[in-house]
Structure 1
Amino acid sequence: MPKCGTADLSYQPCTSKTVANKLFLACCEQFVAPECHFLCQYETDHAAAKKLVGSRCLRMCDPGGTQLGRLTKDDATCLYNWNVIMYCHHSGIREM
């Protein structure tokens, strides 16, 4: 049986999206600057995720790595809190 939060289930959270968003934001509020909190949504739909990231960081929405090429100094803003946002996103959100 496929596990939630994996590619087998299209990365659907292991709980309701409402609870996942609440837990994700709570994690981000501890470690991420307030101006980045709007990114802390558990979004698995590619088009919706692109809208959240915006045009400045749009090239970061390429999990296959086919269009990224190389990183430049202009990417620093997008990458500054990326590791923390991904830590929160992948922290095994499950119903408690």
Structure 2
Amino acid sequence: MVAGAAAIAVAAGVGYAAIPAVDGTITACYRTKNSDDGGGKGTLRVVDSAGECEKNEQALTWNQRGPAGAPGIAGAQGPAGPQGALGPQGG
């Protein structure tokens, strides 16, 4: 029993170290239908790679931070501001 718990702890540590991936992505398997092992439809499990998803699961991958979007168009020029105070005169 203790050996089994230790094995699970080691496996969890390995999984934790690899998620998210080096490129910042997170991969998960989304169960699309009920299965014989008790996994219900809609179950989501985080994995190291999409290759770990089973036949009744759909791989999902996302970034922690998405890519930058395209710059927006320039806005219209605003009205002129009030004239500033005069600076000191040079000598």
- Which range, TM-score by smaller chain? under 0.3
Q: Which has the higher contact order (CA 8 A, sep 6+)?
A: 1
Q: Which has the larger radius of gyration?
A: 2
Structure whose residues are more often strand by fraction: 2
